[in-house]
Structure 1
Amino acid sequence: MSAPDGRSGAGRGELTRPRPVARPLAVAIAGLGTVGAGVAKLLRDNAELIAARAGRPIAVTAVSSRDRTRDRGVPVAGLRWYEDAVAIAADPAIDVVVETIGGSEGPARALVEAAIAAGKPVVTANKALLAVHGAALAEQAEARGVTLAFEAAVAGGIPAIKALREGLAANRISRVAGILNGTCNYILTTMRERGLQFAEVLADAQRLGYAEADPAFDIDGVDAAHKLAILAALAFGRPVDLGAVHIEGIREVSALDIELAEELGYRIKLLGIAKREESGISTRVHPCMVPKAAAIGRVEGVFNAVVAEGDFVGRVMLEGRGAGAGPTASAVVADLIDLARGRLTPVWGAATDALSHAPSLPMEKHVGAYYLRLMVLDRPGVIADVTGVLRDHAISLESMLQRGRAPGEAVPIVLTTHDCVEGRMREALARIEALPTVVEKPALIRIEGL
């Protein structure tokens, strides 16, 4: 305010009052593995920048982990240490609980439920917990008026959750899809680049640390399904429904299929796809052939990508690292900054009573094009037998490729179809597999025009 002579009070020698420093947001981290330690390191290394963007400092004041002696690359001296992670929820000095324990049950679930019941906001990177129990947890959080934030649960450092729930909130989303598992994308990329079989590349991925000792969650599509269930709930504003997701992994993708896909102008990717149909919502995870020219076909190695299609925005694609300490910690801290600023967004983008209850569609109703590879005995009439079965099930061919001739021996025949109903394709495939000239299980890969 100016003095009567036009000079400010400070200019006349008066002392200005210092701006009060906001109390730090006190955070407890449960689980000090790769992600938890990454969060602690990021909050320490970028403390000044984070405080400026959050409007207050964010400080880790308590932790929980099973092993106190392990060196995690970040100092933990002076922090309150809880042997029992669930006990953190009762600590009155804790403002926010960060859950990086993992798993859909056990201490992770117990801690999140206890923290919500105690009225404490929760930030989690736990996609399994949200995919399995997200509907119930969202209701509990809404009833207590607290935030349940989970940017880190899907696609690591890619801000996919914020994009769907906030950036695209004004759009009616028709489809969300993506490469949601870096391990599978690395395996498929390496198989193509080096001409190796699945088992060889998987062993290499385990040696390099890209795949777990037990890789089933990744290679069987379960991890991607967890993430897709979360994305579908956000995209279509309905409770999360993991049970509705059709799941296939990449164990049966062969080097031959990858080579043939290249000849046909495609790349094979494990995709999660959720789509709004006239009669409901379809959600599926499986290997797909996508055009080599498509943007998602060029996402290689351990990278993830998420594509969303909205009625006003059109198509949006985000690409980046989907796992690792740095990218995942980046997403966790983004949620902490929102909490420090007092931002509260419903878990699935809308209040529970405003969520949709559109039905889930079974995979048998899917309509699309297909790639079929058959290993058949090279005899007269084989192709006529196969095409006759497809004709009987109203499936029309787009192209056919035969690799070489070897009379009396097994040779590959590749067929691509026009759009048809999945249920009919499955019936036709069962009949084709039973033909005496078909010597092994046919390979089927769906073709997607992303």
Structure 2
Amino acid sequence: MKNEAPLRVGIAGVGTVGASLISMFLNDQERMTQRFGRQIVVTGISARSRSKDRGVDLSEMAWFDDPVALAKSDNIDLFVELMGGEDGPALASIRAALELGKPVVTANKALIAKHGVEIAHLAEQTNTQFGFEAAVAGGIPIIKTLREGLGLAQVQRVYGIMNGTCNYILTRMTNEGINFQDCLKDAQELGYAEADPTFDIEGFDTAHKLAILTSLCFGCKIAADQMYVEGITRIDQADIKVASDLGFDIKLLGVAQRTPDGIEQRVHPTLVPKTSTIAGIDGVLNAVSLETDHVEELLLAGPGAGGDATAASVISDIFDCVRGTHVPPLGLPVAELEPYDKARMREHEGGYFIRLNARDIPGALAAIASRMGESEISLESVIQRPDLVVNDPETKSEATRTVVLITQKTLEQSVRQTIDRIAADGFIVGKPQVIRIERF
């Protein structure tokens, strides 16, 4: 192998991850060659700006203004896409490389969530490797684990913390008593959140990653547009404090599981027991848990973002190409993937945390409990917290108190409909907070 010509890599997108990747190639070349018996060199790059200082020496690499031209270049053997975007140049350049039989590696979860099945099929048609380890949970090797590491074990449920921005915000809200907006501002200043953080804090980033994992876990086609998605923007210190008093932390989880009625996938804030392993995943860390029939529960945790961590996963895929490792991109050939079969609504075993801003008038609490009883929703506990009044524009100077209901297992539809009836009765103001409880 040591006599083989170097593997020539083209990289489209030289942002944080791209610059880290190039730095690793430049600084660790001797170790790479010793380990894999073949040099890996970056021979071409493409990015929006030639003049931007990226902290690495790009002078020996050919510059391409058009990433598609880079993908088609005879001077590269493997194409790495790090531009981002679910369509446009990213998709066009990946297609161009695969059509020519060139292996492709990407960190683009949005593109995989939307076009993953099509791209996997194209890779199969051209007998070409396609890797996307870095698209889900940064430096955590969850894709390789699912495609190659579980043997005959079948996944029954996958869940996890898959967005470092949200986890950082919720951790600081929990540990320091800071409100959401202040935590978000700090995250932006530290580079953990984008100037426009919507994609992260509204749960869409987690949803894309979960859709990819769902396909790999359950052998179905990717269906990112068929899941319930709720972000963390409405989490208040009242939720954090009451949850803590009850023995729970709040995390943004992506959850997918196989049920008798089909596959369920959802993203939302979740109350998790403080004693659970997932509750201990704090800050910008990510974690993915796999519940299987053979190895029971397997938890993988680590940095979910950042230049070096993500670049390490990109290199892992490149090394697979050097070794000649060749597996179906989505675990199974595309022809064998089942259509996504969305599960019917069923009772949530963990129950619900419901926070209401109730008017401080006689009979309010009894009326609320009565409505729950009419809907056959069993209550595990009812908590009044006048010390945790949530400021709501609708309340103005009106006297209110925070009421928290903890239900036993029930349907979310029943909960939502019952809350609408309570609101119509005039006993609450503002929008109620409803959070699922998972009792791992």
Shift of 1:163: 1.2
Match of 1:410 in 2: 400
Shift of 1:162: 0.9
Shift of 1:392: 1.8
Q: In structure 2, how many angstroms separate the alpha carbons of the residues matched to 1:365 and 1:431? A: 21
Maintained 8 Å contact 1:273/1:283: yes
Match of 1:376 in 2: 358
Match of 2:166 in 1: 184
Maintained 8 Å contact 2:68/2:89: yes
Secondary structure at the counterpart of residue 357 of structure 2 = strand
Q: Could you tell me which of 441, 446, 449 is aligned with 2:431?
A: 441
Maintained 8 Å contact 2:223/2:340: no
Q: In structure 2, how many angstroms separate the alpha carbons of the residues matched to 1:239 and 1:41? A: 36
Match of 1:393 in 2: 375
Say how many residue pairs are matched: 430
Matches of residues 22-37 of structure 1 in structure 2 within 5 Å? 22-37=4-19
Shift of 1:22: 1.9
Matches of residues 256-335 of structure 1 in structure 2 within 5 Å? 256-335=238-317
Q: In structure 1, how many angstroms separate the alpha carbons of the residues matched to 2:274 and 2:426? A: 35
- In the alignment, does 2:326 pair up with 1:336? no
- In the alignment, does 2:244 pair up with 1:254? no
Shift of 1:77: 1.1
Match of 2:394 in 1: none
Aligned partner of 2:412: which letter? Answer: E
Maintained 8 Å contact 1:274/1:281: yes
Q: In structure 2, how many angstroms separate the alpha carbons of the residues matched to 1:358 and 1:96? A: 32
Match of 2:87 in 1: 105
Aligned partner of 2:246: which letter? Answer: L
Matches of residues 47-66 of structure 1 in structure 2 within 5 Å? 47-66=29-48
Match of 1:128 in 2: 110
Match of 2:348 in 1: 367
Instruction: Render the CA deviation track for 1:228-282: whole Å, top value 9, x for unaligned.
Output: 0111111111111111121100010001100111001000000000111111100
Instruction: Render the CA deviation track for 1:345-376: whole Å, top value 9, x for unaligned.
Output: 101101122222351125x4452310001111
Q: Pick closer, same or farther for the CA change 1:392–1:205 going to 2, 3 Å.
A: same
Aligned partner of 2:410: which letter? Answer: C
Q: Identical aligned pairs, as a percentage?
A: 46
Aligned partner of 2:282: which letter? Answer: E
Maintained 8 Å contact 1:53/1:337: no
Instruction: Render the CA deviation track for 1:14-39: whole Å, top value 9, x for unaligned.
Output: xxxxx852221111000111111111
Shift of 1:380: 2.6
Maintained 8 Å contact 1:157/1:320: yes
Match of 2:207 in 1: 225
Q: In structure 2, how many angstroms separate the alpha carbons of the residues matched to 1:325 and 1:179? A: 19
Match of 2:395 in 1: none
Match of 1:15 in 2: none
Q: In structure 1, how many angstroms separate the alpha carbons of the residues matched to 2:35 and 2:293? A: 32
Maintained 8 Å contact 1:55/1:341: no
Match of 1:96 in 2: 78
Maintained 8 Å contact 2:2/2:38: no
Shift of 1:208: 1.4
Maintained 8 Å contact 2:221/2:340: no
Maintained 8 Å contact 1:158/1:322: yes
Q: In structure 1, how many angstroms separate the alpha carbons of the residues matched to 2:347 and 2:339? A: 20
Q: In structure 1, how many angstroms separate the alpha carbons of the residues matched to 2:47 and 2:347? A: 45
Maintained 8 Å contact 1:299/1:305: yes
Shift of 1:404: 4.0
Matches of residues 68-217 of structure 1 in structure 2 within 5 Å? 68-217=50-199
Match of 1:425 in 2: 415
Maintained 8 Å contact 1:373/1:415: yes
Calculate the TM-score normalised by the size of structure 1: 0.93
RMSD of Structure 2 on Structure 1 (CA): 1.5
Q: Which moved more, 1:433-442 or 1:326-335?
A: 433-442
Match of 2:20 in 1: 38
Q: In structure 2, how many angstroms separate the alpha carbons of the residues matched to 1:358 and 1:80? A: 43
Maintained 8 Å contact 1:43/1:333: no
Residue ranges of structure 2 left out of the alignment (5+ in a row): 390-397
Residue ranges of structure 1 left out of the alignment (5+ in a row): 1-18
Instruction: Render the CA deviation track for 1:210-234: whole Å, top value 9, x for unaligned.
Output: 1111000000001110100111111
Instruction: Render the CA deviation track for 1:117-145: whole Å, top value 9, x for unaligned.
Output: 11111000000000011111111111111
Q: In structure 2, how many angstroms separate the alpha carbons of the residues matched to 1:366 and 1:224? A: 23
Maintained 8 Å contact 2:347/2:409: no
Aligned partner of 1:310: which letter? Answer: T
Maintained 8 Å contact 1:365/1:423: no
Maintained 8 Å contact 1:62/1:79: yes
Q: In structure 2, how many angstroms separate the alpha carbons of the residues matched to 1:342 and 1:52? A: 17
**Which protein shows a greater Rg?**
1
Instruction: Render the CA deviation track for 1:387-429: whole Å, top value 9, x for unaligned.
Output: 22112222101111112489x8211111111111122122112
Q: Pick closer, same or farther for the CA change 1:222–1:435 going to 2, 3 Å.
A: same
Instruction: Render the CA deviation track for 1:334-354: whole Å, top value 9, x for unaligned.
Output: 000000000011011011222
Maintained 8 Å contact 1:173/1:235: yes
Maintained 8 Å contact 2:113/2:223: yes
Maintained 8 Å contact 1:50/1:337: no
Q: In structure 2, how many angstroms separate the alpha carbons of the residues matched to 1:186 and 1:310? A: 29
Shift of 1:441: 1.4
Q: Which moved more, 1:121-130 or 1:239-248?
A: 239-248
Shift of 1:434: 2.1
